[in-house]
Amino acid sequence: MSYFSEIYNGIKTLLTGMSVTGKYFLNARKGVITQQYPDNRETLKMFDRFRGEVIMPHDDQNEHRCTGCQKCEIACPNGTIEIIWDRGIDEETGKKKKKIDQFVYHLSLCTMCGLCIDVCPTDAIEWGQNFENSVFDRTHLTRVLNKPGSKLAPGVED
């Protein structure tokens, strides 16, 4: 007798399983969870805190906020950031002050840990939201974050 009850219970469980997938099949039009990626670029919006790449925002007068304190270079675990700096004469006070020449950022090495942005005292760098960074030539991934001809915004101290 347990032979037949085994068969009956077995078939019942199989039909229950089929009802679950069948329900998803019937709602297949509206219930897709995938996005048709290259087609939806216009409406795609990432979250605010999304970690795409590190950028240095410049304001309208082409000024940035990086004083060259090198705290980000020390905090970075694998040498992604290299700051080429020099001592120059500050216009307002006339004293010698650190100035950055180039803020080199190796996107190919970056692990997106966020320690550099966390430790920066002047909020000079922040997260950008661009994630389509593939290039054909690897040297294009080594970026210089401060734009040519830009200088430190006045009044920023570290």
Interface segment toward other proteins; rule CB under 8 A; list 53-61, 86-94, 108-116, 148-156 = 108-116
49 touches other proteins by CB under 8 A? yes
DSSP summary character for residue 106: E
Select 21 or 139, whichever has its Cβ closest to other proteins.
21
- Count residues contacting other proteins (CB under 8 A)? 36
d(CA 158, CA 143): 24
Residues 5-24 that bind other proteins (CB under 8 A): 7, 9-10, 13-14, 16-22, 24
d(CA 121, CA 139): 30
Which of these, 158, 157, 156, lies nearest to 59 by C-alpha position?
A: 156
DSSP summary character for residue 39: G
Q: How far is CA 26 from CA 20, 33, 35, in A?
A: 10, 14, 19
Across the beta sheet with 81-89, the strand order is: 81-89, 96-106, 142-144
Among residues 84, 89, 119, 144, the one that binds other proteins under rule CB under 8 A: 119
77 touches other proteins by CB under 8 A? yes
DSSP summary character for residue 96: E
Among residues 2, 5, 33, 132, the one that binds other proteins under rule CB under 8 A: 33
Among residues 2, 5, 47, 60, the one that binds other proteins under rule CB under 8 A: 47
Residues that bind other proteins (CB under 8 A): 7, 9-10, 13-14, 16-22, 24-25, 28, 31-34, 36, 47-51, 71, 75, 77, 111-115, 118-119, 127
